[in-house]
Every structure is written in structure tokens, then in C-alpha cells.
Chain A
Amino acid sequence: GNSVTQMEGPVTLSEEAFLTINCTYTATGYPSLFWYVQYPGEGLQLLLKATKADDKGSNKGFEATYRKETTSFHLEKGSVQVSDSAVYFCALSDDGGTSYGKLTFGQGTILTVHP
């Protein structure tokens, strides 16, 4: 079956530090990959996505590259801000790349950024 494994948290950083949150996956077929973010007291919202191998998703200074050879989709940001404090979820949609499908989520990584 499909699975997503994220690096364990919580992660605590100082403002302007470099961020990496590791994500690896197991899936059949050709999954699409996502990072969702959950700010305190809110639902999840899509941060970025990649639908095929070697694609790079990017948004709000965050980036992740779909690496099929290492089955990874690590999230990075060069300089974090206090406002980036949230829970980050890696997810995959194993839908053969043809249509929308169910998502399988990682367990989430809590990020706290201090001034």
C-alpha cells in the first residue's frame, strides 16, 4: 500500500535559518506529491505540489523537488520567518497521473520559528 514518512519533529529554528523537512514515500504507479501546511487553529491548505518526476514545486519561498530515484520530496526554505510556524504535512495522491484521487498523509512535522 501507499505510505508517506516525514522526519520527526518538532523542529525549532531561529528566524532566517535554513529549513529542511524530509519526506519519503512508497507508492505504486505514478503519484502526485504535495506539501500541505496547517497554521494554528486552521484547516490544511496546499503549500506546493509536483505531479511528475523532477518537477519542482515552489510557493512562498518554499521548494520541493520530486525525486523518483530516491522516492523523496523534501521541503526546503532558505530563510524561515516566525510566521512560518505551523504543522507541515507531506502527502501523495496515487492516481496514475490521470485524475484527482485520495491522499495519503505523513504524520506531520511541527515547525516553531523563534525571533
Chain B
Amino acid sequence: SQQGEEDPQALSIQEGENATMNCSYKTSINNLQWYRQNSGRGLVHLILIRSNEREKHSGRLRVTLDTSKKSSSLLITASRAADTASYFCATDAFQAGTALIFGKGTTLSVSS
């Protein structure tokens, strides 16, 4: 099962520009996480935001969470070609023993 939609599905930008990806989910959550996946490679954990947090920063990453709208956004500032990858949000529900449920993902392409 998947939580919901991410938009856009694909995003193409120039180096130095900002990239914003959005994620919506359906159920109550304990936290929401963002992952990056380079083509054909494993998942890299980027950032986690808890349900009682509204915004979190990590380097060039800024994540927001709006639990009333069941949505989150990931902003990558001053993008680089190395940021080219697929980005997924994943939600962790309140119930113990539940798996992360992933959104459909956004494919980001940064050209130099």
C-alpha cells in the first residue's frame, strides 16, 4: 500500500535553483521521513520530522510538515548536479511494528 501522492512526479531545474517537492499522506503519523535514491542504488535517509514539528532544516534541506493537511514539503536550496535522484517521502504510523509507507516519489534532474 502507498500513502499518497507526491508532486511533481518529475522536476527539471538548473544548478543553483531551488527544488521543492510535495508529499501528501492519508493516515495519522508518528513521523515523516525523506529519502533519496540515486538511479539503481540504495536508499539514503535525508531527514526526519516528527508529527509535533512544523519545520526542520539540515544543510541545504528544509522540510515542512502540516498535519492538518496531511502534507509535507522538501526544499533543496542551491541545487547541484549531484542532487539528481529520486526523492521519496515515507510515513511512520503510530502503531508499533508498522513499516514505513512510501509515497510515489519525485524524480529530480539538475542540469549544469
**Is the pairing of A and B real?**
no
Chain A interfacial positions (CB closer than 8 Å to B): none
Which chain B residues have a beta carbon within 8 Å of chain A's beta carbons?
none
